[in-house]
Structure 1
Amino acid sequence: MSCDTIVLGAGIIGVSTALHLQARGRRVALVDLKAPGEGTSFGNAGLIERSSVVPYAFPREFWRLLRYGLNRQSDVRYSPAYLPKLAPWLYSFWRQSAPQPLAESTRALQPLIERCVLEHDLLVEQAGLSRLIRANGWIEVFRCPRALRQAQREAQAMTVYGLRFDLLDGAQLREREPNLSAEVCGGVHWLDPKTVSDPGNLVKGYAALFAQRGGQVLKGDARSLCQNAAGWQLMTAEGPLAAREAVIALGPESNELLQPLGYRIPLGIKRGYHMHYAHDRELKHSLCDTQGGYVLAPMDQGIRLTTGIEFAAPDAPPNEIQLNRAEALARRIFPLGERLEPQPWLGRRPCLPDMRPVIGPAPKHPGLWLNFGHAHHGLTLGPVSGRLLAEMMTGESPFTDPAPFSAERFA
């Protein structure tokens, strides 16, 4: 078998890249060991996050570092045994979170964030998936009046980015979410983002659109990828597949291919969990308890609770400590029903210390392209980063400068 381009990875990044290349006339094969939407893209809060213009940075205040060091918080937890191995990456993350480099990453990502909803809207319409999309934004909720006042001041500073929001006191918040407890004192309702009621099925729907348009969706092990005189080849369940070009869009597994090729890209993993709960009471919006570090989202499967960050070995077994902490906090503000699964889902977010993904060519290997490392915003940035890479690969003028996303910044 042969095609023009092999896209390795059938998550939101890979599927979106495949669709954009296909729309530009490329014959594309999408290859993964799993079905589309079954990896990291399956378990997230379902936010198409137009309002997250500033990346999630490492805290720099001494009191916050001390609090996290005690390892008793629900928003961030670490495995003490894994901390020595993780320390160099955390130090780089901390350095990149200083005001100047953070501002640089914010400027670089802004054109992608600004187009994230539009690029999803185009694919949603083409794939007929509007039933999965809600256009009522999401609400940041607070249990502490002081934290609420600070968050509302910060929200007002975001008007320079063209964001729309409502500042809510406790009574106004409960008008929008009547089942919230009196412990919640107010919030910020971000109006520009959209939410997805089943992220895994959204990715499957995009992949179905790709297949309907003649794309190949194949099962294969990306680790069999090898370079030859004509380009690239790998084994699939249906036999060898050859192409002039290949795209690595494997999220947290991307370095498994790149390290043997001589690349040293500092890809870190932030683990996270989700659990579904019965819809005993209505939840109209996705809610983020910033202090607690979790999101409650109404999904087709139930009310999904997604946790914050767990730093642990990527292949370590699941640990329910963080989920249990977040669930206890969530039950104080909303009457969650019973758990609907025997075990939590565990996912691995691929993160780079400067909070920017890698999008562009692999410097040492002509015909090899990269699209991974989107951290907390894989679902948000999938279609727009797929467009950017496809423009680069097909010789179009990119809609924004791709230089900040080059792999060469880690040379």
Structure 2
Amino acid sequence: MSADTIVLGAGIVGVSTAIHLARRGRSVVLVDRRGAGEETSFGNAGLIQREGVVPYGFPQDLTLLMRYGLNNRIDAHYHMRAMPKLVPFLSRYWWHSNKVRHDAIARAYAPLIENSITEHNDLIEAAGAQHLIRKDGWMEIFRTGAKRDAEYAEAGRLGREYGVKFVELSNADLAKEEPFLRGDFAGALKWADPWSVLDPHGLTMAYLKYFESLGGRFVKGDATTLTRKSGAKGWQVKTDDGPVEGGEVVLALGPWSEDVTQKLGYNFLVGVKRGYHMHYAPAGKAKLNNWTMDNERGYFLAPMNKGIRLTTGAEFAFRDAPKSPVQIDRAEKIARSIFPLAEPLDPEPWMGARPCTPDMMPIIGKAPRHDGLWFAFGHAHHGLTLGPVTGRLIAEAMTGEKPFIDISAWRPERFNP
């Protein structure tokens, strides 16, 4: 089997890249060891985060860091045995999160986020996936006036600098939005621009079906078998359908990218933030209307097709370590105190891994030392959000078009000169 391009990784980034290459007349084989969208793209809060122009930074406040050190929170948890390996990544992550550097990163990152809705909309319409999308934003709820006011101020800054739209909600407004919420909240903030996805895996599958309608092919295979073709230009990878050869390769393997890049001599210092989710039925006639974040506790409730999805923050651990869903247990107890959840709908919590760079920006572009090799990974919390825009940028660069936004800020050379 041969193709112009092999795309390794069939998550939202890989499928979107394959679509944009196929649209430009390339023959494309998409390869993954599992089904499409069954790894990191499967479990998330289901948001296309147009408001997310500021990537999640490492806390700078010493008091807050000491609280995280107690390792009893929902928004962050760590495995002590993994920390020695994680220290190089975490120290650089902390350094880049300094306010001056973080502000500069946000300005470089913003063009990706600003085009997230329009690029998704293009593929949503082409794939006939409108039934999976809601266009009414999401909401943060606050337990204290101090936190509320600080977030209102930050939202105002984002509105002025990046055109992000939001609405401040009083307690009475919140009660109208969510009549089944319980608790003494200080108000809420509703982000107006983002879209939400009722079934993230279903969206990836819809995009895959569209890719196949363009003549693309999806096969199962092992990305770690990628090799240069001997005596000729191009690449080869082993699949269940036999070896696949291609003139060019795109690595869109998320947290597994290093399994291939390290063999090729690259070191990207990519860390992993693991995350968990569970689905629950609402109790009785209760209904959750909005994608809702309990801001000061660090968990999300999302009313999806499969039930109310409860998601956690970040777990710092070895990528392939066994599940340790203590954050789900902590979050469920608090979530039940504010919303009437009934029985869990999953036999056990789902776990996935987010690939994160220390400067909080993805790696998008041509490999510095190999012809025909391209990178598209490291999207951290915004993989779902940035899949289509990344796919378009990679396809434009590979086919000789001028990318519709400058990709130099995300070039691989910033880690591998």
Q: Could you say what secondary structure the match of 1:256 adopts?
A: helix
The code of the aligned residue for 1:362 comes to A
Return the TM-score normalized by structure 1: 0.98
Kindly state the Cα deviation for residue 184 of structure 1 after the two structures are TM-superposed: 2.4
1:165 paired residue number: 166
Q: How far apart are residue 398 of structure 1 and its match?
A: 1.1
For the residues of structure 1 that align with 2:157 and 2:179, how far apart are their CA atoms?
29
CA distance, structure 2, for counterparts of residue 399 and residue 215 of structure 1: 24
DSSP 3-state at the match of 2:148: helix
Report the more deviating stretch, 171-180 or 365-374: 171-180
Offset of 1:378 from its aligned partner?
0.1
Whether contact under 8 Å (2:5, 2:27) holds in the other structure is yes
Shift of residue 388, structure 1, vs aligned partner:
0.9
The SS at the match of 2:282 is: coil
TM-score, normalising length from structure 2? Answer: 0.97
SS of the equivalent of 2:279 reads: strand
- Measure the CA separation in 2 of the matches of 1:344 and 1:145: 33
CA distance in 2, matches of 1:54, 1:302: 29
Are residues 1:247 and 2:224 paired? no
Aligned-pair CA distance for 1:185 = 2.2
* 1:24 to partner: Cα distance: 1.1
User: What aligned pairs does 1:28-67 form with structure 2 within 5 A after superposition?
Assistant: 28-67=28-67
SS in 1 for 2:115: helix
Matched, 1:269 2:272: yes
Establish whether residue 391 from structure 1 lines up as the match of residue 392 from structure 2. no
Asked if 2 retains the 8 angstrom alpha-carbon contact of 1:170 and 1:182, the reply is: no
Q: Secondary structure at the match of 1:319?
A: coil
Superposition RMSD on alpha carbons, in Å?
0.9
- Contact kept? 1:39, 1:347, Cα under 8 Å: yes
1:342, CA displacement in angstroms? 2.0
Of all paired residues, the percent bearing the same amino acid is 52
Runs (5+) with no aligned partner, structure 1 = none
Matches within 5 A, 1:84-163: 84-160=84-160, 161-163=162-164
| Residue 399 (structure 1) shift | 1.5
Instruction: Determine the C-alpha separation between the residues in 2 that align with 1:27 and 1:71.
Output: 49
Instruction: Check if 1:364 corresponds to 2:364.
Output: no
- The amino acid that maps onto 1:27 is S
**Deviation at 1:394?**
0.8
1:99 is displaced (CA, Å) by 1.9
Equivalent residue in structure 1 for 2:358, among 347, 353, 362: 353
- Post-superposition offset of 1:320: 2.1
The number of aligned residues is: 411
- Separation in structure 2 between the aligned mates of residue 90 and residue 303 of structure 1, nearest angstrom: 32
**TM alignment of 1:226-375, pairs within 5 A:** 226-228=227-229, 229-280=232-283, 281-375=286-380
Q: Distance in 2 between matches of 1:269 and 1:127?
A: 31
Q: Which moved more, 1:212-221 or 1:323-332?
A: 323-332
1:189 alignment partner, SS class: strand
* CA distance in 2: counterparts of 1:74 and 1:362, whole angstroms: 37
**Contact 2:23/2:214 (<8 A) preserved:** no
Deviation at 1:145, TM superposition (A): 2.0
Residues of 2 paired with 1:343 and 1:188: CA distance?
Answer: 32
Mapped contact 1:36–1:203 kept (Cα < 8 A)? yes
- Map 1:179-258; keep pairs closer than 5 Å: 179-228=180-229, 229-258=232-261
SS at match of 2:101: helix
Equivalent position SS for 2:257: helix
Amino acid at match of 2:406: D
Distance in 2 between residues matched to 1:80 and 1:144, nearest whole Å: 32
Q: In 1, are the aligned partners of 2:45 and 2:309 still within 8 Å (CA)? A: yes
